[in-house]
Amino acid sequence: MLMVKQTDITPIATELFFLPVETRVPLKFGTETLTSVTVARVKMVVQDRNERTAEGWGETPLSVQWVWPSSLPYSVRHQAMLDFCMLLAAAWAEPQSPGHPMEVGHAFLENVLPRLLAEFNTGRAGQEPMPWLAALVCCSAFDIALHDAYGHLVGLPVYQTYGPDFMNKDLSAYLEPAENGDADFTGLYPADFLNPNPPTQLSAWHLVGGLDPLDASELRGDESDDGYPVLLADWIARDGLTCLKVKLRGNDPAWDYERLVRVGEIGLARGVLWLTADFNCTVHDPAYVNEILDRLVLERPRIYGMILYVEQPFPYDLERHRIDVHSVSARKPLFMDESAHDWRLVRLGRSLGWTGVALKTCKTQTGALLSLCWARAHGMTLMVQDLTNPMLAQVPHVLLAAHADTIMGVETNAMQFYPDASQAEAAVHPGLYRRRDGVIDLSTIEGSGFGYRLDEIERRLPEPVVRAGREN
């Protein structure tokens, strides 16, 4: 019998804001380059069974190039995502069955979001349909706000609410184990898979973009002269970096090999400990990755040893591209990222040979936690990857990493690409928006919900583009 709690909530109102951000240097995603982004910020009001209300906030950068790789003009895809966010603002304010945010969020992801996306794409007849990953990213700001509001309602940090004292259903209501597996989710909750004593400092991964100059000979003369480092060696020196994520092309093995070697050499000379190789989802044959790794073993064994894991070399659509990747994961841990939309795809990935999952809050807090639980129950390793999260988006991102027990810290690169965008938030949380001695500091996050301390952050918001629900 389904239990109910007086703290069960339902959303009753939303407000949606669009915040434009310009990058200080370009960021390459696959075959495209990002120079600006629109950040979706959401305020959500929720009500419990006793008609108490609370408000929460969520935020996500709408990184069009990452969620929707296409030859379709950027402006068309960007506008479609803005339009879909506005549609979601109204949908989230409609009456829903009360529950814990995991229950409300899951019901929306399973029942409402697919229908909304199908209707949205039908209404754009003759145009390329917006993909599911783009819909998830649009939805994530609302889902994060839902969790934040619940924490404020019960007066606790949200990560203290993921157990039986607050949830009506255990994980068996959401997850199914692998075929012929021995995992059993009966009687288990997300709290059983989270670190109850999360660290207040995390190792910070720096992104070495495909367009980033590595030495003075590669300077083009159009780099930003704003006081921030440009060359990799200067970033390492300023921030004390020990972890570097290397963006590769995935279609040029000579360039990719050389890039790993050059970044590795720069890092080795300056105390860097770890590398990860990101092949940008453009590889179709495992042999491409294997040959680069095998060549590193023979020619640059120290650099090979620095590679902690390999990230998503293969196409986004895992169901369409069911590539057996056991040969890659036999060499290095292999992490799903763009393909890991939900726990079902994580299950499929594991059967194909993937050994780890890169979680992202931009795929919703609800979905990230369910994927985390499924992966950990089946012995997979975890990482939390960045979507170049500025402002409020940084806080749930790093909290997920702290509670997930990742393989090594967290990727965090907004301070590289648009550091000034987060000045208001950095005044309250300086350690979240500047890396020092190779780490970020979470100790200023405190209070209920996600611990934003929003009343202390002096940020002036534009007028909302949508107000929906009972309070509006």
Q: In the structure encoding, which two tokens stand for residue 224, read together? A: 């930003």
In angstroms, rounded to a whole number, what is the distance separating the alpha carbons of residues 298 and 334? Answer: 20
pLDDT of 204: 98
Q: Where are the domains of the chain?
A: 9-177+461-469, 190-445
Hey, is 47 helix, strand or coil?
Answer: strand
Which residues have a Cβ under 8 Å from the Cβ of 100 and sit 6 or more positions away?
A: 5, 7, 8, 9, 150, 161, 166, 167, 168, 169
Which CATH number among 1.10.150.240, 1.20.1440.230, 3.20.20.120, 2.40.50.140 corresponds to the domain 190-445?
3.20.20.120
Secondary structure (DSSP) of 421-441: GGHHHHTT-GGGSS-BTTEEE
**Which tens digits make up the pLDDT trace of 192-244?**
999 999 999 999 999 998 888 898 888 776 566 778 898 999 999 999 999 99
**Which tens digits make up the pLDDT trace of 259-304?**
999 999 999 999 999 999 999 888 999 999 999 999 999 999 999 9
Strands (E), 93-242: 201-208
Q: In the structure encoding, which two tokens stand for residue 21, read together? A: 């951000």
The answer to whether 466 and 16 have CB atoms below 8 angstroms apart is yes
Q: Which one, of 382, 386, 339, lies nearest residue 362 by Cα?
A: 386
Query: Residue 256: how many CA atoms within 13 Å on its side-chain side?
Result: 25
**Which tens digits make up the pLDDT trace of 97-113?**
999 999 999 999 999 99
**pLDDT at 382 > cutoff 90:** yes
**Radius of gyration of the chain from Cα atoms?**
21
**Which tens digits make up the pLDDT trace of 393-417?**
999 999 999 999 999 999 999 999 9
pLDDT of 387: 87
Class of the CATH domain delimited by 9-177+461-469 = alpha beta
pTM of structure: 0.96
Hey, is 152 helix, strand or coil?
Answer: helix
In angstroms, rounded to a whole number, what is the distance separating the alpha carbons of residues 392 and 389? Answer: 8
Same topology, domains 9-177+461-469 and 190-445? Answer is: no
Q: Which H/E stretch holds residue 82?
A: helix 74-92
Q: Which H/E stretch holds residue 310?
A: strand 307-311
Token look-up 């949205």 returns 120
Q: In the structure encoding, which two tokens stand for residue 258, read together? A: 């050389």
**Which tens digits make up the pLDDT trace of 327-354?**
999 999 999 998 889 999 999 999 999 9
26 band by pLDDT with thresholds 50, 70 and 90: confident
Which residues have a Cβ under 8 Å from the Cβ of 89 and sit 6 or more positions away?
A: 14, 15, 16, 42, 142, 466, 468
Q: Which residues pair with 43 in a beta bridge?
A: 15, 57
Q: In the structure encoding, which two tokens stand for residue 134, read together? A: 């783009």
The answer to whether 432 and 452 have CB atoms below 8 angstroms apart is no
Q: In the structure encoding, which two tokens stand for residue 382, read together? A: 């975890």
What does pLDDT average to over the chain? 94
Hey, is 22 helix, strand or coil?
Answer: strand
Q: Which one, of 84, 413, 379, lies nearest residue 239 by Cα?
A: 413
Q: Which H/E stretch holds residue 416?
A: helix 414-417
